Structures are given as structure tokens and as C-alpha cells.
Amino acid sequence: MGDSAGPRVDTPAQFSTEIGGHSAQLGSVRALLGGWLADHGFARGQATDLLLAVDEAAANSIEHGYRGAGPGPVRITAVVEAGLLVVTVSDDGCWRTPDPTPVGLRGRGLAIMRAVSDSVDVETGQGTTVTLRVAVAPA
């Protein structure tokens, strides 16, 4: 993954943001995280895949996590550590079990996340946390 030089892993900086649970805010998250990924040397194609996965996770938090309760916070963090890009998307809402048979274009978020990540973990209980991991090669 990444360009021939690979992502730079010499900077321990962490990306972190919180949105108020409105889908209109996802564009700014994509722009901010996309800039952070570019600053860390991720190739455009790899960054696009990662942004898609993060967008799916955040959209799921917004749409399903707070259903019936109004909007709530969604937190997104990213850090490169020990050769892995680790991105978390978390909320304080309730987990909604995905439909086992997606209809049309809906219900494919976890499949998309798994297609572009090396691993995807979902923790539920006190809110939901989705953790995406992608192996990176040192520059």
C-alpha cells in the first residue's frame, strides 16, 4: 500500500477530531483527515480508500448509533504506531446489528471497511468503537 516510498512513519503525531453527529460534517472530516494522511506520506489511492472506510464508520455512527435519541458526538482518531495506521471511530450510542442480506446499496459499510483495511474490530457496549488497522511500510 502507498507509493513506492511508502508512508512516513517518523512522526508520532495523532489526528483527532469530534463532530456533533450531523452528516453535513463528514466532508470536513474527510478534508482534515485527508490532509493528515497526505502529510504523513500516504499515496492518494490509499488515502482515498481509508477515507471511504472512515466515512462509512462515521456515517454509521450518525445514522444508527443515536437513532431515536437525536444527534450525538462521533470521535475520529488516527495514529501511526509500530508499522500500523490505527484509525478509530467511536460514539456513545447503541450498536445496531447489520442486516445479514443488504438491500441495494445500503448495508455494505462493514464490507467496505474490511475490503480496504487489514483488520476491522467493532466493540459495543458503552457506545460503539470501530477500529481500522492498515499495515504501513516505513519510508
Would 7 be classed as within a structural domain? no
DSSP β-ladder status, 14-19 and 74-81: antiparallel
pLDDT value, residue 8: 42
Q: Is residue 45 part of a domain?
A: yes
Tell me if 37 is assigned to some domain: yes
In a domain, 125, yes or no: yes
Mean pLDDT along residues 11-36? 88
What is the pLDDT of the chain when averaged over all its residues?
Answer: 82
Q: Is the pLDDT of residue 5 over 80?
A: no
Triad 36, 41, 44: Cα angle to 5°: 80
**In sequence order, which residues have a C-beta less than 8 Å from that of residue 61 and are 6 or more positions away?**
21, 74, 89, 90, 91, 93, 128, 130
pLDDT at residue 79, rounded to an integer: 94
Average pLDDT of 87-115?
Answer: 78
Q: What is the pLDDT of residue 134?
A: 92
Nearest to 54 by CA among 66, 67, 36: 36
Q: What percent of the chain has pLDDT over 70?
A: 81
Q: Which domain holds residue 112?
A: 14-135
Report residue 76's pLDDT band, with 50, 70 and 90 as the boundaries.
very high
48 lies in some domain: yes
The structural domain count of the chain equals 1
Please report, for the domain that includes residue 116, its CATH number.
3.30.565.10
